[in-house]
Structure 1
Amino acid sequence: MEDIEDLFAGGAGGAPPGFRLPLNAVGVNPKRNASKRSVSKQKDEVTTDSNRDSLAPPSMKIPGTQTIYIKTFGCSHNQSDSEYMAGQLTAFGYGLTEVPEDADLWLINTCTVKSPSQSAMSTLITRGRSGKKPLVIAGCVPQGSRDLKELEGVSVVGVQQIDRVVEIVEETLKGHEVRLLNRKTLPALDLPKVRRNNFIEILPINVGCLGACTYCKTKHARGHLGSYTVESLVERVRTVISEGVKEIWLSSEDTGAYGRDIGVNLPILLNAIVKELPSDQSTMLRIGMTNPPFILEHLKEIAAVLRHPCVYTFLHVPVQSGSDAVLTVSSKLCRTVKILFESHLKISLVAGHEQEYTSGEFRTVVDTLTELVPGMQIATDIICGFPGETDEDFSQTVGLIKDYKFAQVHISQFYPRPGTPAAKMKKVQSKIVKQRSRELTCVFEAFAPYTGMEGKEERIWITEIATDGVHLVGHTKGYIQVLVNGPESILGTSAIARITSVGRWSVFGEVIETLSSTNVATKVREEKKPPCTSDVSTCETWACSAESCCGEGKSGEACDVSGDITKQDHKTEGKSKKIEEEKQEVVSHWGFVDKALVCGVFVSSLTILVLMISIASRAFLRQ
């Protein structure tokens, strides 16, 4: 059959967001006929039935009046996709519920990274079928494993078809099975969105990656790199700031690879975004996960952005193993990929060769960022028990973690994912994998990364309610989690907090002062920005942007823009110095006339004093 996009008038462009296809334009299967097809042989985007007259009668309910339950597994990119789908559904009148039993349809957004996530999906699908709930399955599992048995008889929406979710839900509620999987264009960024947290915008900057990691199933689902343009992302940033968002998370499968398919790079995007961030630091930017190879090429530029006062000094850089032997097998990456567009013809040119990154390159990333960015916090990932991992390989991984004492390490046991090269490799014994995972966890948990913070005052950005339902969650500029007590009215604000105690995973604090846009702006104006030189220490205590501090030509590489405007003692000391300098400046600018007048006053005073002494002496002698 034809691809569904060809069924539209105008073809390749697809339907506008939320457009509802007429039933005779959508290939669907009544659920009663679902058993007659072989899913594994379906290559088309939509399951079809040759007998259109056999379609089930539509539901008696008016479309758009039903309630939807959305369950999301996996990464922040998946969360953003769910928020976009929720936004479109509510825009068409559908209600959302967090109680599965109250819903008329379940929308399950899946993750294929680990076996437990996919198992949880399967369990939820079984539960939905038992409850006779219409099901729509989205995300990486159906996109990367189309012939999965669990997906038989349910509707499916692909990762790049989220702008068609309304159509799929409507047809599914009518009793039809719909599948939309194939597409070569990215969903628009300006679709309606219902954020899980009103103060946090998860902004996907690209989909897919340039990697060829032997253990990764996500590449099967998300595909090759596809980047949004700088202009579209900047426009989205402007929009969400106007909507009151206080944190923007840049999300993708590999942030560092951004733009290599459209002739730009990550520093270009970051510099364009930080220009849009409010000068009062009311909205902060968090840069997403990036693999070591691509960030290596732009370390100084990215360090300059991380020093910007509106950017969290935090980065997630997965290493997976401290052994180069393991990395050689597990992480092969294409170093350079260039995609050229001429007219409407897309030409892909791959230059260079596949080359893995090394633990040494990872160390270079960590060492450089730690040196150039004050307060830098780095999180990483480790896979225990990758096929072929020896005791010596594991020992090198333990040594790497001990050397850096990372505050955040995500430790996973190796899970063979069907269809990946690593799934066919000889596995390490399960008991050894579990033992190594426990050992590394013990090593990691022995660190006390936040010791010494007690009594310090930090500026924090408060955006969430803690899972205990009592505390509010704020983050320092280094993205250290600070739990504070306070009314929910301070959500979405920044504040000065004094750290009262520290734990292994977070710290506790008390709010001293909440910062409004007005008083922050006043404090910024009170700061006097010195000129920047090639010496990083010259401006490290001042709130200056990369451009204002170093000029456009230097891109902020040589200056530190991590100024802390909350240090009251520094501000007071600065004011006192300023007053003394002004006094000295007044004295140094006295002219000849000023000096003559002062001398005249002095001589006159001296003459009067002599006369008074003389008169007093004469009066004494007469007596």
Structure 2
Amino acid sequence: MKRYYIRTFGCQMNVNDSQKMAGMLKSLGYEPARSWEEADLILVNTCSVREKPDQKVLSALGEFKKIKNKNPDAIIGVCGCLAQRAGYEILQKAPFIDMVFGTTNIHHLPQLLKEAQAGNKAVEIIEDIDENETELDRYPTVRDSIYTAYVTIIRGCDKKCTYCIVPYTRGRERSRRIGEILQEVQWLVEDGVKEIHLIGQNVTAYGKDLGDVKFHELLYAVADIEGVERIRFTTGHPRDLDEETIKAMAEIPQVCEYLHLPIQAGSDRILKAMDRGYTQKEYLKKIELLRKYIPDIALSTDIIVGFPGETYQDYMETIKVLKEVEYDQVFAFKYSPRPGTPAAQMPVTEDSETVSRWLSDLINIQKEITFKKNRAYENKVVEVLIEEEKDGKLTGRTRTNKLVHIDGEHNLLGEIVKVRISKANRFSLEGELAEKLV
């Protein structure tokens, strides 16, 4: 029996792609390996959003190369966004690789694998969108979680943010047909899934390229499927978040009170340089509208620190937004130039040490905000979907995406229960079982 090992870098789209590849390999008779040392096939699914994941990929490949000493017939493949952008460059740096393929031809994995097994270099990087890429969606997913599942609803992005490589590595926006999405959701529910996580580079743009369906209509349709207990979605662009979608979030019981809405920067001058298409005021109006319809909504965001041209005054505008919105969670990073993007040609204003200090200060401010938001949960009773049971503890998430640890073995995996929160930590909550709901 042949075994595979997949190492995944990057976003939830890459995670879902890896799950689909695992499903493909399962249909070919492969089983998952306990570690890469035992694998006959190693796949590295790459990210190219920032420089650090690029470096991690090359480091991982250097380690995985050792498999050839133990098993000369073992195959090493590289796929995903970095492969799409710089596949031939990777091959030059790591000539021991057997397969390289990009983001739009993942469904070609069986043929590429056959070619590599025959002793050939299986390299296929397609620049144009493959019209048959939706074949990938016909494969089952091999998921880490039994009770939650990603469902890709749209691929690519039509926005042209000056720092972002995604439109180059993932292509233009392509929405899946609503019938295909609903069929996949139905299969997942029948497989025991309780929480559906709709994903895409820009989910709130869903349907615009089709012309006959809108994102909020998809939310209602998914909620109508019997057995769907929870719905989440990631990631949307602020420009595409409209009042109809916000109303749907408020009206549909299954849609969780949580939203990730990237702002990237608080300064209007930097937002314009990023080509984000909104001002700070316009973004904050969206936040105001969300809290009008969903008062208890939890929010998270992405922030880039040190974008070309950013000054201390610009940075302080971001801090102003951070303090005004009071996000539950923030994903903040130093600006990382991506080859081929317009921002890569822009001069950087501040030195790396200064930007690192800004980032550290921002993270420390947010840590206190997150802790404050978590403390507000103490003594409250919340709904938790139990996803894991280990070492005498149950672990799950609230509807607002808070991680909760519960003492005691209760055989409640996959159940939605009520939990009384007894203690708030900086990044999680602790509680006691109050009542089983579903």
TM-score (norm 2): 0.92
The reply to whether residue 135 of structure 1 matches residue 76 of structure 2 is yes
Listed as ranges, the gaps of 5+ residues in structure 1 are: 1-64, 333-355, 517-623
Which residue, 353, 366, 383 being the options, matches 1:459? Answer: 383
Shift of 1:151: 5.7
Corresponding residue of 1:102? 38
Q: Which residue of the partner structure matches residue 433 of structure 1? A: 355
CA RMSD of aligned residues (A): 1.8
SS at match of 2:134: coil
How many residues end up aligned between the 2 structures? 422
Q: Deviations for 1:500-533, whole angstroms, at most 9, x for unmatched residues? A: 11112221111122234xxxxxxxxxxxxxxxxx
Give, in whole Å, the separation in 2 of the partners of 1:303 and 1:450. Answer: 26
> Which whole-Å deviations, capped at 9, do the CAs of 1:527-573 have from their partners, x for residues lacking one?
xxxxxxxxxxxxxxxxxxxxxxxxxxxxxxxxxxxxxxxxxxxxxxx
Q: Which residue of 1 aligns with 2:47?
A: 111
Letter paired with 1:77: M
For residues 573-592 of structure 1, what are the structure 2 equivalents within 5 Å?
Answer: none
Question: Highest CA radius of gyration, 1 or 2?
Answer: 1
- CA deviation digits over 1:248-273, x for unaligned, max 9? 11111111111111113211211211
Residue number in structure 2 paired with 1:372:
293
- Please list the CA deviations of residues 151-188 of structure 1 after superposition, one character each: whole Å capped at 9, or x if unmatched: 64531122222222222223323322112332233323
Say yes or no: does 1:294 pair with 2:225: no
Opposite residue 258 of structure 1, the aligned amino acid is Y
Shift of 1:307: 4.0
Alignment-mate amino acid for residue 216 of structure 2: P
- Report the 3-state secondary structure (helix = DSSP H, G, I; strand = E; otherwise coil) of the residue aligned with 1:267: helix
Q: Does 1:122 align with 2:70?
A: no
The equivalent residue for 1:86 is: 22
Corresponding residue for residue 229 of structure 2: 283
SS at 1:202 equivalent: strand
% identity of equivalent residues:
30
Residue among 391, 404, 414 paired with 2:335: 414
Matched, 1:175 2:124: no
Deviates more, 1:161-170 or 1:150-159: 150-159
**In the alignment, what sits opposite 1:326?**
270
Taking the TM superposition and a 5 Å limit, the aligned residue runs for 1:28-427 are 65-132=1-68, 133-148=74-89, 149-150=92-93, 152=95, 153-182=97-126, 183-188=130-135, 189-263=137-211, 264-278=213-227, 283-295=229-241, 298-332=242-276, 356-427=277-348
Contact 2:303 2:331 in 1 (8 A): yes
Equivalent position amino acid for 2:142 in 1: V
**Structure 1 partner of 2:396:** 474
Residues 465 and 254 (structure 1), Cα distance of their counterparts in 2 relative to 1, 3 Å cut: farther
Q: Say whether residues 1:450 and 2:391 are aligned partners.
A: no
Match of 2:405 in 1: 483
Structure 2 CA distance for aligned equivalents of residues 460 and 435 of structure 1: 37
SS of aligned partner of 2:29: coil
- Give the SS at the match of 2:19: helix
| C-alpha deviation, 1:473, in angstroms | 2.4
Counterpart mapping for 1:469-548 below 5 A: 471-487=393-409, 489-516=411-438
Checking the alignment, whether the CA contact within 8 Å between 1:73 and 1:117 is kept in structure 2 is: yes
Change (3 A) 1:470 1:399: farther
CA contact (8 A) 1:271 1:305 kept: no
Secondary structure class of the residue paired with 2:84? helix
Superposed CA offset, 1:404-429 (max 9, x none): 21110111011111111111111231
The 8 Å contact of residues 246 and 293 in structure 2, kept in 1 or not, is answered as no
1:453-486: per-residue Cα shift (whole Å, max 9, x none)? 22221121112458xx663322222222221124
User: Which 4+ residue blocks in structure 1 deviate beyond 6 angstroms?
Assistant: none
Q: Distance in 1 between matches of 2:403 and 2:82?
A: 32
Against the structure 1 CA distance between its residues 465 and 441, is the aligned structure 2 distance closer, same or farther, given a 3 Å change threshold? farther
Does structure 2 conserve the Cα–Cα contact (< 8 Å) formed by 1:499 and 1:509?
A: yes
Equivalents in 1 of 2:131, 2:94: separation in Å? 23
Distance 1:383 1:471, change over 3 A: farther
Q: CA deviation at 1:331?
A: 2.7
- Residue 488 of structure 1 deviates from its aligned partner by 7.2
* CA spacing shift, 1:71–1:269, aligned 2, 3 Å: same
Amino acid at match of 1:323: S
CA contact (8 A) 1:156 1:178 kept: yes
The answer for the alignment partner of 1:57 in structure 2 is none
Q: Distance in 2 between matches of 1:186 and 1:364?
A: 38
Shift of 1:498: 0.8
Partner residue in 1 for 2:71: none
Structure 1 position 76, deviation (Å) = 0.9
- Runs (5+) with no aligned partner, structure 2: 69-73
Corresponding letter in the other structure for 1:140 = C
Q: What whole-Å deviation, never above 9, does each CA across 1:124-144 have from its counterpart, x for those lacking one?
A: 112222432421111111112
CA offsets per residue over residues 307-349 of structure 1, 9 Å max, x none?
42211111110000000100101134xxxxxxxxxxxxxxxxx
State how far apart, in whole Å, the 1-side matches of 2:392 and 2:239 are: 42
- Aligned equivalents of 1:487 and 1:246: distance in 2? 21
8 Å CA contact 2:299, 2:328 repeated in 1: yes
After TM superposition, the score normalised by the length of structure 1 is 0.65
CA distance in 1, matches of 2:53, 2:392: 29
